[in-house]
C-alpha cells in the first residue's frame, strides 16, 4: 500500500501542477488580441497568478489549521466540483477596448479562471499536509512531493510552446484542459480516500515552536528576488521579439527547475559554489545594462539571451536553495508555503504595478541584480546570514537601491541625448536628440524598447516636412503612397495602424482624410507635442486619432473606405500577432477600397514574417507582394536617418501601380503548403524564426 499511496499522491500533485501551469500561457494568449499584443499582458497575468497562488496557499493553511480532517476533505472536494462546473474557460469579449487594461485584465481573470486556479494552487500544500497525516514512513517529510509538483509544472510549460500550441488551436486547448480537470477530480477523490483511511491519529500532535516573523521575512525576500528577476527576464526577451508563450514559459520553467533541484536534491549540492556563480552573474547582469544604457556597448541579442538566462538560473537556484535549507517541519508546512508565496507575489507586484509607476524606464530588472549581488556577497563573506542582518541591513539596502533607480531615471533623462522618456502598459518610450556638426542638423529619434521607430529633422526647419525613418519617399512606403494616393487628383482616405512619430502624415494632402489607430496614449502625447515632433501638427487635410486597439476600432470605419491601410504597429521589435491573422486581414480588406491596398511593415531582426503573409487566403484577383529596401551609400543612418525596411502589399493585381510591377525589389509571395496559416485560434511564432 505504501508504494500505491506514494504513487496516487505523486500523480495527483503532478496532474494539478500540470494543469496549473498549462493554463497560464493558454489564458494569457487568449487575452493578447484584446490588449494590443503587448508583453505587459504576461507580466500582469503573472501578477494575478501569484496573487491567486497566495490565496490558494492561505486557503490550504486555514483549512488544515481550523477544520477536522474529515471536514477538510469534504470542503475541498465540493470546491473542486464547483470549479469544474465553471469550465470551459470563457473567451474574452473582442469588442471590449479597456481604458484601464490592468484593471480589466485582473477583473476578467478573477471572474473567469479565479476559482479553478485557486483550487489548483491549493493542491500541492494541501495534499502534502494530508500525506503527512498518514502512516506512510515518509509522512514526517512530505517535501519530496513538492519536487513532483514542480516537475509537472515544467512538463506543462515546455510542452505548451513546443507541442500543444504548435498542434492545436485555443478552442481545442480549452476543452482538453477541462477534460484534464475532470481527471484531477477523480485523482483527488482517490487521494482523499487513501488519506482518510490511512490517517495517523498521532500525526501533528507534537508541540513545536511556530515560525518567527524574522524567519517569515527571510522567506519572503528569498522568494521575491527570483520572482522579480523572472518577470524582468521575460519582459526583456518578449519585448524585442514577440509576446508569445515560448518566451513566457522558458524563464518560468527554469524558475521551477531550481525548486526541483533544491527540494529534490538540495542536500547533495552545496550552495556556496552556486552563490559564487550567482554573485558573478549578478554583477555581470547589472554591468550589461550599464554598458548598454550609459556607454552604448552591447552584444548580439542571442548572446544576451543566453547570458541573461544563465545569470537568472544561478541567482534563482541560490535564493531558492536558502528556502529549502530553512524549511520547517511538516507541522508548519502550509505556513512556510504561504510566506514563500507572499514573497513571490511581492516580486510580481513590484514588476507589474510599482515599477511602471515609479520608473520611467524598465529599471526594475537591473536594480534587482544589484540587490542580489549585495546579499550574495554578504552571504559568502560571512558564511551565511543572520536574520537580524537580513531584516534590517538588507531591507535598508533595497530602499537605497530604489532611490538610486529614481535618481538614475531623473538624472539620465536630463543628461546627454535623452530629451524625453516615458513608460506605459505598452512599453518604454525614449526620444533622443542627435546633433551633426557637418550637416548642421538637429534630429529627434523615437525608440520603443530597443528599436528605433521614427525620426525627424527639427533643424533646419525646412526639412521638417521630409519623412525620415522607414517612411522616406525614395523607399517602399513612398512608392506605395505615390502609386495609390499621390498620383490620384481625387481626395484620399488614409488609414495608419500605429502612430509613432507621425511621419506617415506627411503623405496627406489638402482634402485627404487621415486616420491613425494608436493603442498607447503615451505615443499620442509625444506625436502631438511639437517640442518632440511636428509631423502631426503640420499635416495637411483632415486628421483624426482613434485611440484603442486597431482591430476593435476598425469595426467603426465604413466598409471599402480606405485607399491605403498601413499596418505598422510593432512594439519595440515585437509583433502584434492578432494583427497578422487571417481574421485580421479579412477585416482590413473589408475596410479597404477594391482599388486600394493594405501595406504591412514586417521589418524584424528575428522573425520571417513573409511566411505568414504568403499563406493568407485572399479573394479572387488579389495577391500579396513583399519588397525589401536596403540603404544606398548616400542614405546612411548617420547622415539621412533613413532605414532599411521590408514592406508587404496586399491588393488586386489589376490595380497594382506600374512602378511596383516593374520594380525588382518587389516579389510576389509563394504560399507554402506545409505552413499552417495563422488565425485567431492558432498561431505559432516558433515556426518563423530566422
Give the pLDDT score at 520. 86
- Domain 1-202 is of which CATH architecture? Up-down Bundle (1.20)
Unique residue bearing C-alpha cell 532611490: 403
Give the pLDDT score at 410. 45
Looking at 496-609, list the stretches that DSSP marks H as alpha helix, in order from N- to C-terminal side.
521-527, 535-538, 550-553, 582-591
630 to each of 392, 647, 652, how far by Cα in Å? 57, 12, 26
C-alpha cell at 1: 500500500
pTM as predicted: 0.75
Unique residue bearing C-alpha cell 509563394: 670
Q: Is 68 exposed, middle or buried (0-12, 13-18, 19+ CB in 10 A)?
A: exposed
Domain chopping of the chain, boundaries: 1-202, 472-688
Q: What is the 3-state secondary structure of 4-67?
A: HHHHHHHHHHHHHHHHHHHHHHHHHHHHCCCCCCCCHHHHHHHHHHHHHHHHHHHHHHHHHHHC
What one-character-per-residue DSSP string does 188-253 give? HHHHHHHHHHTB-TTTT-S--PPPPHHHHHHHHHHHHHHHHHHHHHHHHHHHHS---HHHHHHHHH
C-alpha cell at 663: 520594380
Instruction: Specify the DSSP element, H or E, that contains 405.
Output: helix 387-412
Q: pLDDT digit string (tens) for 545-571?
A: 998 888 888 988 999 999 999 999 876
C-alpha cell at 517: 489607430
Q: Tell me which CATH code domain 472-688 carries.
A: 3.40.50.150
Average pLDDT rounded to a whole number, residues 519-525: 89
**36: Cα within 13 Å, side-chain hemisphere:** 30
Reported as a pLDDT band with limits 50, 70 and 90, residue 416 is very low
- What is the distance between the alpha carbons of residues 640 and 628, in angstroms, rounded to a whole number? 19
Q: pLDDT digit string (tens) for 351-378?
A: 777 777 777 667 778 888 888 888 888 7
Reported as a pLDDT band with limits 50, 70 and 90, residue 146 is low
Give the pLDDT score at 335. 79
- What is the distance between the alpha carbons of residues 108 and 660, in angstroms, rounded to a whole number? 46
C-alpha cell at 462: 525646412
Q: pLDDT digit string (tens) for 194-238?
A: 877 766 555 544 555 556 777 788 888 889 999 888 888 877 766
**Residue 472, SS3?**
coil
Better-predicted residue by pLDDT, 115 or 644: 115
Give the pLDDT score at 414. 41
Residues 6+ apart with CB under 8 A from 585: 598, 616, 618, 650
Kindly tell me the sign of the dihedral angle through the C-alpha atoms of 53, 59, 63, 64: positive
Give how far the C-alpha of residue 121 lies from the chain's centroid of Cα atoms, to the nearest Å. 22
Amino acid at each position: 500500500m505504501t508504494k500505491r499511496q506514494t504513487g496516487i499522491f505523486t500523480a495527483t500533485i503532478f496532474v494539478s501542477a500540470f494543469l496549473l501551469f498549462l493554463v497560464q500561457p493558454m489564458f494569457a494568449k487568449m487575452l493578447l488580441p484584446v490588449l494590443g499584443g503587448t508583453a505587459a499582458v504576461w507580466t500582469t497575468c503573472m501578477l494575478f497568478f501569484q496573487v491567486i497562488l497566495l490565496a490558494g496557499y492561505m486557503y490550504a493553511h486555514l483549512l488544515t489549521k481550523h477544520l477536522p480532517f474529515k471536514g477538510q476533505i469534504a470542503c475541498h472536494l465540493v470546491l473542486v466540483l464547483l470549479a469544474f462546473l465553471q469550465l470551459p474557460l470563457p473567451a474574452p469579449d473582442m469588442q471590449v477596448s479597456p481604458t484601464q487594461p490592468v484593471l480589466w485584465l485582473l477583473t476578467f481573470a478573477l471572474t473567469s479562471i479565479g476559482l479553478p486556479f485557486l483550487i489548483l494552487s491549493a493542491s500541492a500544500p494541501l495534499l502534502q499536509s494530508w500525506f503527512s497525516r498518514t502512516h506512510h514512513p515518509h509522512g514526517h517529510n512530505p517535501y519530496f512531493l513538492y519536487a513532483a509538483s514542480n516537475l509537472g509544472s515544467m512538463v506543462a510549460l515546455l510542452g505548451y510552446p513546443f507541442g500543444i500550441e504548435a498542434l492545436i488551436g485555443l478552442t481545442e486547448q480549452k476543452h482538453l484542459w477541462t477534460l484534464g480537470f475532470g481527471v484531477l477530480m477523480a485523482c483527488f477523490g482517490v487521494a482523499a480516500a487513501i488519506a482518510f483511511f490511512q490517517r495517523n491519529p498521532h500525526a501533528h500532535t507534537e508541540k513545536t515552536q511556530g515560525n518567527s516573523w524574522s524567519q517569515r521575512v527571510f522567506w519572503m525576500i528569498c522568494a521575491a528576488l527570483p520572482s522579480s528577476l523572472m518577470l524582468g527576464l521575460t519582459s526583456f526577451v518578449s519585448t524585442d521579439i514577440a509576446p508569445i508563450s515560448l518566451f513566457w514559459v522558458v524563464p518560468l520553467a527554469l524558475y521551477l527547475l531550481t525548486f526541483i533541484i533544491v527540494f529534490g536534491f538540495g542536500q547533495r549540492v552545496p550552495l556556496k559554489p552556486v552563490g559564487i556563480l550567482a554573485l558573478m552573474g549578478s554583477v555581470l547582469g547589472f554591468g550589461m545594462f550599464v554598458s548598454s544604457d550609459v556607454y552604448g556597448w552591447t552584444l548580439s541579442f542571442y548572446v544576451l539571451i543566453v547570458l541573461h538566462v544563465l545569470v537568472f538560473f544561478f541567482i534563482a537556484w541560490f535564493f531558492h536553495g536558502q528556502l529549502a535549507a530553512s524549511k520547517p517541519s511538516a507541522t508548519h508546512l502550509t505556513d512556510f508555503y504561504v510566506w514563500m508565496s507572499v514573497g513571490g507575489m511581492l516580486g510580481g507586484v513590484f514588476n507589474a504595478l510599482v515599477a511602471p509607476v515609479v520608473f520611467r524606464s524598465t529599471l526594475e530588472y537591473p536594480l534587482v541584480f544589484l540587490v542580489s549581488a549585495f546579499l550574495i556577497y554578504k552571504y559568502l563573506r560571512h558564511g551565511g546570514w543572520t536574520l537580524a542582518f537580513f531584516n534590517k541591513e538588507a531591507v535598508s539596502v533595497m530602499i537605497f537601491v530604489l532611490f538610486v533607480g529614481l535618481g538614475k531615471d531623473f538624472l539620465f533623462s536630463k543628461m546627454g541625448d535623452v530629451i524625453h522618456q516615458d513608460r506605459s502598459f505598452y512599453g518604454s518610450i525614449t526620444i533622443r536628440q542627435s546633433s551633426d556638426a557637418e550637416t548642421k542638423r538637429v534630429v529627434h529619434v523615437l525608440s520603443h524598447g530597443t528599436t528605433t521607430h521614427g525620426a525627424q529633422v527639427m533643424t533646419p526647419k525646412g526639412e521638417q516636412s521630409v519623412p525620415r525613418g522607414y517612411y522616406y519617399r525614395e523607399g517602399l512606403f513612398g512608392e506605395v503612397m505615390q502609386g495609390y494616393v499621390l498620383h490620384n487628383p481625387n481626395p484620399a482616405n488614409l488609414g495608419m495602424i500605429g502612430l509613432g512619430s507621425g511621419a506617415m502624415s506627411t503623405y496627406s494632402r489638402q482634402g485627404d482624410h487621415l486616420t491613425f489607430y494608436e493603442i498607447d496614449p503615451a505615443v499620442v502625447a509625444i506625436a502631438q507635442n511639437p517640442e518632440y515632433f511636428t509631423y502631426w501638427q503640420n499635416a495637411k487635410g483632415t486628421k483624426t486619432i482613434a485611440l484603442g486597439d486597431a482591430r476593435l476600432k476598425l469595426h467603426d470605419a465604413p466598409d471599402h473606405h480606405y485607399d491605403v491601410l498601413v499596418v505598422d504597429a510593432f512594439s519595440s521589435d515585437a509583433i502584434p500577432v492578432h494583427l497578422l491573422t487571417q481574421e485580421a486581414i479579412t477585416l482590413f480588406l473589408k475596410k479597404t477600397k477594391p482599388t486600394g491596398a493594405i501595406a504591412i511593415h514586417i521589418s524584424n531582426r528575428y522573425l520571417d514574417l513573409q511566411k505568414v503573409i504568403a499563406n493568407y487566403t485572399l479573394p479572387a484577383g488579389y495577391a500579396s507582394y513583399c519588397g525589401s529596401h536596403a540603404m544606398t551609400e548616400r542614405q546612411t543612418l548617420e547622415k539621412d536617418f533613413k532605414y532599411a525596411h521590408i514592406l508587404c502589399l496586399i491588393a488586386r493585381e489589376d490595380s497594382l501601380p506600374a512602378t511596383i510591377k516593374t520594380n525588382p525589389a518587389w516579389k510576389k509571395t509563394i504560399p507554402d503548403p506545409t505552413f499552417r496559416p495563422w488565425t485567431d485560434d492558432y498561431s505559432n511564432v516558433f515556426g518563423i524564426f530566422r
